[in-house]
Every structure is written in C-alpha cells, then in structure tokens.
Structure 1
Amino acid sequence: MNRIQQAAANWRKAGLENDFVFSKVMTDPEICLEVIQSILPGLAIKSIKPPRAQEEINPSNDAKGVRFDVYTTDDANNHYDIEMQVAESPNLFKRVRYYQSLNAFASYERGENYNYAHNSYVIFICCFDPMGLGRQYYSVNKRLNQDPAFLVWDGATDVYLNVTSERHEVPAKLQTFLDQIAGRSGGQEDAFGLKLRQKITEVKHNKKWRADFMRMSLMEMDHQYELDQAEIKGRNQGIENDRLSLINGLLKQGQSEDEIIHFLTTVLNLSDEQARAYYHKATTKD
C-alpha cells in the first residue's frame, strides 16, 4: 500500500476519535453546545459563539504556541478549549496546565480589574484513563493543601473524560457522545446519537475536508519517516561508536589485528569485510 492509499484508508476508518473529524463535528454550534452542557451541567449555558477548529494561540514571539482542537465562549463569556487526546502522554497534566494558561489568558482584558476575569475550562476527551482510577469523569480545581475541602476558586477548571470507562457515571447525552467515540452501541440510538452520526457522515462526504485530511496525513507520514530515519541513523551511529570503542579497548590489551578480526566475526557475528572495515576505521587517524 503506497502513501496515498494509506492516507485514503485512514480517512475511510476515521471516526469521532480522530481529531480532524472531531474538530469538524464540534464546529457545529448545536452539537458543541449540547456536549458542553452535558459536560458542565451546573453552568446552565444557554448559547455559545460559533466554535472555531484548530484555533492557533501564540501569546508572544518567543513563547510556545498551540492549536486548540475546538475553542468557543458562551453567553457569559466563559472560555472553553475542547481537545481529543487519543494517545497516552507522560506530560499530559503539564500540557493541560499550559493550555489552561493560554485559555485563561484570553479571559483577562487589558485595563479591567481581575474581578472581571471570565472563567476558563479546558476539557480533554481521552481514549485512555488519564488518572488510572476507572472513572469516566474527572474535574480538577485548586484545593488548599492543608484543608482539601477548601476550594481556591480562581475560575480555572480542568475536565478529563475517560472514553474507555463503561461505568455510566455521566448524563445520558454525554454517555452517548463517549459511546460514539469508543464505537460502543450504548445509547447511540437516541436523538443525539443520530445527530452525531449524521454530522460525521456529512464530514466524511465533504470533498474539501477529505482533501485537507489527505494532505495532512501525507505530511505526517513524511515527518514520521524523517523521524524514523533520524532514529535509525542515531541508533546505527551508537552501534558503530560502541564497536569502535571495543576495538580500541582490545588494541590497548595488546591484541593483534587477526585476533580482533576473529573476535568481531565470531562473537559479534560480523562478516570478515565488516570486521576489517571497523578495524580500519578504529586504527586510522582522522
């Protein structure tokens, strides 16, 4: 299968768990609003501004920039960043902290008192259990270390959803959403599930979005190939350095060329040609 065929196959199998498809589906204002309402029912959100996909945030020229999968604000001007996270990452929590800082950055308007800063919500939808506790829903706010029951409310909330959990701890609409991502039958037969599937079908039949996805996939393949080649080169260089160091060590022990060649061919299973090439390199001055 060539690269173009692989990209086409990736598009055919891409579902809501794919961040490209996810972003396109979530730019539907009705769907995005229903998802946020089901994740944060206590906010009583009435409306949101049109969600923006792949929102680029660059706080300054020398700071690390990011792309939010989906970004929007609600009728109370609360700020929302919603991310699809497929692969586990050891730096997830620090990444969320940075995303939260950038999301909160937009909540502070120049010249305004800090009291008027709007609330900021960063929501990560994870295809794994980010906390390892088996729950579907985790929310994080600041707590006082000396009294964990004391909430230090600074307006920032992190939410993690565990797609893999089947505990059914969340509202029905959110359960349907998670089931759709996971490919479970669950509650996908309800009205919201039908709306999600119709939107996914609409996305997958959009020729422009298919072309965009294909182009991105090919770029990712090229980038991965370059990374793989660099890794192979680095690994080979490491092997070569180890073998040259070994030869130098044997030379210091007083072993002859024939003895070293014999060692390399019998112990390291190198060919005679490879062994002599390594010996020549180790004994030749630059």
Structure 2
Amino acid sequence: MVKKFEDLTLQDDFMFCKVMQNPHFCKKLIEITLSDTIGRINYISVQHNIKTYQQAKSLRFDVLVQTENGKFYNVEMQVSNERNIPKRMRFYQAALDISFLDKGNSYNNLNDSFIIFICTFDAIGKNIPVYTFENICLEDKSLSLQEGTKKIIINAEAFKNTKNEDLKEFLEYLKTGKAKNQFTRRIEEMIHTIKNNEQARQEYRLMSTFEMDARDKGFSEGIKQTAKILKQLGDSTQKIMQVTGLSESEIEAL
C-alpha cells in the first residue's frame, strides 16, 4: 500500500530527501549526529545512484554530501529493521570508495568519508543513542588504522539517553512527530511547504507509480516508463537520472 502524500513524515524516504536538499537542514542534521562542525557544503545529491560494474548489486544513497574540505557524508534514513545494517554499511563504504577513486589515482587520494544511518530502531541492541565505529588495533586499542572512514548508527529509540540536547530533540521528533525546538519546528514548516507544492505531489505520485511498475511489470520497464513521463513533464536530465538511475544517454534515447 502506497502511503498518501499528505501522510508523509521525515521518516519517509521521499520527504527525508526533499528536506535534505536544503543545505541548511542537511548541514545542521549532519553536525547534530556527529556533534561536530563539517564546514561549507559544496555538493548535495539525493537518491544518488552508485554504479560499479554490471553484475554488482545496485545501490542508491538517500543523501550524499561533499564539503569544502573534500569529505563525503552519506546519510540514510532507516525505519525497517532487516538486521543487516553493519553489512550494508560495509557495502555502502566500498561502493563510495570505488565510485570516487579514478583509475590510476593513488589510494592516498581517497576522500575521508562518514556513513551515517539514522534508525528509528536500535540496530545494535545496547540502548545507546549514537554508535560510532572506526577501525582500531585489537592489540593496542589506542592505535587507529586512520584510513579516513567512520560509520555512525543513530538509534532514535534511545533519545532520552543522550546529553546532546539538539540530538535529543531531533530524535524525539523523529519518533513522536513532536517538534519542540527551532530546528525541528523549521523542518515541520518545510514539510508543510513541500506538501503544498503541486510539483512535489506529482513527483511523489510518479515515483510511487514507478515502484509499483517495477514490481508488477519488471524493474527495467518501470524505470523507462517513469523516465519518459518525467521527460514529458520537462524535468531536467539530471533530475531524471537521480530519480530513475538511468544514464544521460539512456534518457536521451527515450
């Protein structure tokens, strides 16, 4: 059953990505989850398709950000516990590295990256609001591998257990829908604005149709049909690429 457009919340991928397209909200949310500043955002891509090789499992990031210092931040919203978060994060990290290290470049040119999964459930099971993982030496835990990656799992269920008031207010809002501080109230206002935007409504309808077509008629056919409709509506090639995952040449050929 497809959720009604009017009932969408920040937990839903479509609305989450729409809100995160705004650099202010995106930057603020990343800084809240990391309890750190990240600098100016140079690049935001939502529903970003990663292509490695033809036989590989396809992958689409909810939100991919690059800041002025070159660091990457992949932010995912997770509401369904399929008990695969650690392995998914491993795959996401690998796909990100492969995609942005060109042939012939030194491994030292790999950008620092953060994989952030915002979960409405406790993926690890220790009732901790923020789980931060990086590679350390088992023989001497004061030594870090320093390969430039971190994986962060946010547990919204444990919002009462964090001393970070901004994070607490955001996670409580995510779980309950109650906006109590300036940041969450501004998110609610933006969601309200999006719901009153007819173009956003039509985009959601088309994406929902695409998902149903992918199930009922086959993935490839559903993608192409959605791309054709978006093209007829005058959407840019870049936007169609983000929504469908098709290449520029495939879209031009439709």
Normalising by the smaller structure, the TM-score range is: 0.7 to 0.9
Gaps of 5+ in 1: 1-5, 228-286
Write the mapping of 1:207-286 to structure 2, written as runs, cut at 5 A.
207-221=198-212
SS at match of 1:151: coil
Partner of 2:225: none
1:13 and 2:4 aligned: no
CA shift digits 1:139-184 (9 cap, x unpaired): 1111223334432221111110011113341533222322222125
Q: Which runs of 5+ in 2 are unaligned?
A: 219-254
Distance change >3 Å, CA 148–CA 214, structure 1 → 2: same
What is the TM-score of this pair, normalised by structure 2?
Answer: 0.77
SS of match in other structure, 2:93: helix
| Inter-partner Cα distance in structure 2 for 1:170 and 1:214 | 40
Under a length normalisation based on structure 1, what TM-score does the superposition of the two structures give?
0.69
Please tell me the residue identity of whatever aligns with 1:15.
T
CA distance in structure 1 between the aligned counterparts of 2:43 and 2:60, rounded to whole angstroms: 17
Q: Contact (CA 8 Å) 1:104, 1:156: kept in 2 or not?
A: no
AA paired with 1:113?
A: S
Structure 1, 124-133 or 96-105: larger mean CA deviation: 96-105
1:137 to 117, 125, 130: 130
Aligned residue identity for 2:117: F
Letter in 1 for 2:33: I
Residue 192 of structure 1 corresponds to which residue in structure 2?
Answer: 183
Query: Within 2, Cα distance between the matches of 1:92 and 1:141?
Result: 15
Question: What do the CA deviations read for 1:182-237 (whole angstroms, capped 9, x no partner)?
Answer: 1253xx3322122111111122222122122223334445666789xxxxxxxxxx
Percent identity of equivalent pairs: 28
Work out the CA distance in 2 between the residues paired with 1:217 and 1:77.
34
Within the candidate set 184, 189, 192, 1:201 is matched to 192
Matched, 1:23 2:12: no
Match of 2:80 in 1: 87
Instruction: State the shift of 1:15 in Å.
Output: 0.2
Could you say which residue in structure 2 is the equivalent of 1:116?
109
> 2:43 and 2:185 mapped to 1: Cα distance?
21
Mapped to 2, the partners of 1:64 and 1:18 lie a distance apart of 23
